[in-house]
A and B are shown apart, each in its own frame.
Chain A
Amino acid sequence: MLKFALKNMAIKKVQVILIVLSIVISAGIGVLAFNVSNQVSDGITENAGYYSAIIGPSGSETQLAMNTMYFAEEPLGTIPYSVVSQLQMDQRVRTVIPFAMADSYNGYNVVGTSSELLIEKELKEGQMLDDNSSLQAVIGYNVAKYNDLKVGDVIYTSHSANSAETHTQGITIRGILRETHSSYDNVVFTQIRTLWQMHEHAEEGHEGHSHATVCAILVKTKNDAYAGQIVSEYDDKIVTDEHNETHTLQAIVPMNAVRGVLNDANNTKYIVYVLCAIILIMNIMVISIITLLNMYHSSKEISLMRLIGISMGKINLLYIIQNSIIGLASTVLAFGVSRLCLIFMSDFVSNYGVVLNMGKVYIFELIILLGVFIISVLPTAIWTLAVSKKDSIAD
């Protein structure tokens, strides 16, 4: 039966290919959209939850979060380094990471920070940043790959991506990160004091950076309650630097900041779902029309089989097997195509620090695929049932 079903499908390959393509496109898009939107949401939430608070200049919460967590957008400005020192002495705080984004190397952002920022990242080669030194860098995987850089090389950064003029002082590459498929792959990390040196700030020892600045401070507290306290203490706080200039701070809980982004993403997600539903409905129609258009051809075939004595039950089973094979192959292909597309989508969403996992399968994806399988078999099942009721032999 299976062999004959396959042979019968082979002689109708154009029809079969059309149906398979139609199902693969609709189911593939549906599954891909669902998977990506959920993995991005999960990934962003996970990243945002890593830090308890972010302190920076007043301005857009989202911009502060995006700049410090994903190295995207421009920094809001600067705040005095004294705030870092103050936080380091706070008993409620476990980790304080200074963050400054300035300069560029061949279009890649240069971030001044401490080794704590990279604590969970693995090195492909070399060593991690030495916080007590300067003019050293740990570079992301893509920076090394696309600039043919290795440990020990010296790079010269410029003030901006558009500037051809480079700093006179070079930075020696101390380490290269393993590929993370995230925004970390596209960044040059150096000690914060390297940036100050480059920008002719004083280098007077850790406690003495009274007029040194940072763009933001990433904070991990000992518990969530302390995070709330720190945020309320530092939000809208006014601090004065050595030059008696005042700076208004803002303190955010990263999770709250990205929630706004996620809400926007959710709205987009719903639009994608609606589009997928429309594509699915259109494809149900296409599959049904193709099936109906081939009804005449198959009716002749059924009548022929009936005349030579093949029972209606066997004929129904034959057509159900055929369409089950088509449905199964299409849904498996749709799943495979969606996984392949994840690879291409991965680079796109890596800007949000999210690594798409090809092996991640949501239950709803399986429900979508099951639904598509049922939809692909249903028209034939209904049709064969209708035809068997009008048996060409019965009189």
Chain B
Amino acid sequence: MIEIKSVTKQFQNETAIDYKDIIFESGKSYMLLGASGCGKSTLLNMIAGIMSPTSGSIIIDGVNMQEKSQKEKDKFRIKSIGYIFQDFKLINDMTVMDNIDILKLEGIDTQNAPKLLSELGILEKKSSKIKHLSGGQKQRVAIARALVKSPEIILADEPTGNLNFAIGEQVIKELVKVSKGKTLIAVTHDERLGIYFDEIIDMNEITSGMKDVISPKEVE
């Protein structure tokens, strides 16, 4: 379970985000909706330990992440969090497998990669360089890299941001499918994709304090 408790984040003395309590239950999938600039990505970065909140706390499975050093946060991220970045964060001149095998630097077993690539429909591209792939294929590689270590938590920042709706929808379907049983938190601005998630959280409302959680049905 991930608990966000009164988290604020300031950039150059200006409060960028100010959230009331949010709880993400283990094994559920969440879609974070919200206009750009409302702090959706910042929240993911704070959960991943890439950023620290200015105040408040992020508690994961009973452990307050603010009490951990950067080194411990890094260890936690590499072991327990699969992060899918909006701009993929792939090395363009390397192959698909090399981009996944980069995790071996931290002792992560990547034997599961071909199976994942197969489930995502890009196994035949495993020896292709990233620069020769389409946006949708790159997104699938990013998903495979995030999931290869079987993380408990999957964070996806605008996983469909660079894709058209049809491909984006396909990617989300696959993401939800391969993330089954894990905690999936995906940031997106496309409400139409909400039907694939267990819960939808409108970050604008969280920030303003109007509502905590809204259901997929409400979006429909």
Residues in B whose Cβ lies below 8 Å from that of A314: 105-106
Residues in A whose Cβ lies below 8 Å from that of B51: 395
In the assembled complex, the CB of A121 is this many whole angstroms from the nearest CB of chain B, namely: 60
Q: Does B217 contact A (CB under 8 A)?
A: no
Q: Does B115 contact A (CB under 8 A)?
A: no
B128-162 with Cβ < 8 A to chain A: 145
In the assembled complex, the CB of A269 is this many whole angstroms from the nearest CB of chain B, namely: 46
A349-395 with Cβ < 8 A to chain B: 391, 393-395
Chain A interfacial residues counted at CB < 8 A: 20
In the assembled complex, the CB of A106 is this many whole angstroms from the nearest CB of chain B, namely: 61
- Measured as residues with beta carbon below 8 angstroms from the partner, the interface class of chain B is 20 to 34
Is the Cβ of B103 less than 8 Å from the Cβ of A308? yes
Residues in A whose Cβ lies below 8 Å from that of B94: 7-8, 11
A260-305 with Cβ < 8 A to chain B: 301, 304-305
Is the Cβ of A310 less than 8 Å from the Cβ of B91? no
Quick one: CB contact mask for B73-87 with A, threshold 8 Å, 1 for yes?
011011101010100
Tell me the bound Cα distance from A309 to B71 in angstroms: 10
Q: Most chain-B Cβ atoms within 10 A of its Cβ — which of A1, A4, A393, A394?
A: A393
Tell me the bound Cα distance from A33 to B75 in angstroms: 52
Contacts A4-B102, A393-B70, A395-B51 given; indicate if A308 touches B91 (C-beta within 8 A): no
B28-80 with Cβ < 8 A to chain A: 50-52, 70-71, 74-75, 77-79
Q: Does A240 contact B (CB under 8 A)?
A: no
Contacts A304-B91, A318-B105 given; indicate if A311 touches B74 (C-beta within 8 A): yes
Is the Cβ of A310 less than 8 Å from the Cβ of B102? yes
Is the Cβ of B74 less than 8 Å from the Cβ of A393? yes
In the assembled complex, the CB of B133 is this many whole angstroms from the nearest CB of chain A, namely: 16
Q: Most chain-B Cβ atoms within 10 A of its Cβ — which of A7, A309, A393?
A: A309
Q: Does B109 contact A (CB under 8 A)?
A: no
Q: Does B101 contact A (CB under 8 A)?
A: yes
Contacts A307-B83, A314-B105 given; indicate if A301 touches B91 (C-beta within 8 A): yes
**A residues with CB within 8 A of B:** 1, 4, 7-8, 11, 301, 304-311, 314, 318, 391, 393-395
**B residues with CB within 8 A of A:** 50-52, 70-71, 74-75, 77-79, 81, 83, 85, 89-91, 93-94, 98, 101-106, 145
15 contacts between A and B (CB under 8 A): A4-B98, A7-B98, A301-B91, A304-B89, A305-B105, A306-B74, A307-B85, A308-B83, A309-B74, A311-B74, A311-B75, A311-B78, A314-B105, A393-B74, A395-B51
The 5 closest A-B pairs by CB, nearest first: A309-B78, A11-B93, A309-B77, A304-B89, A314-B105
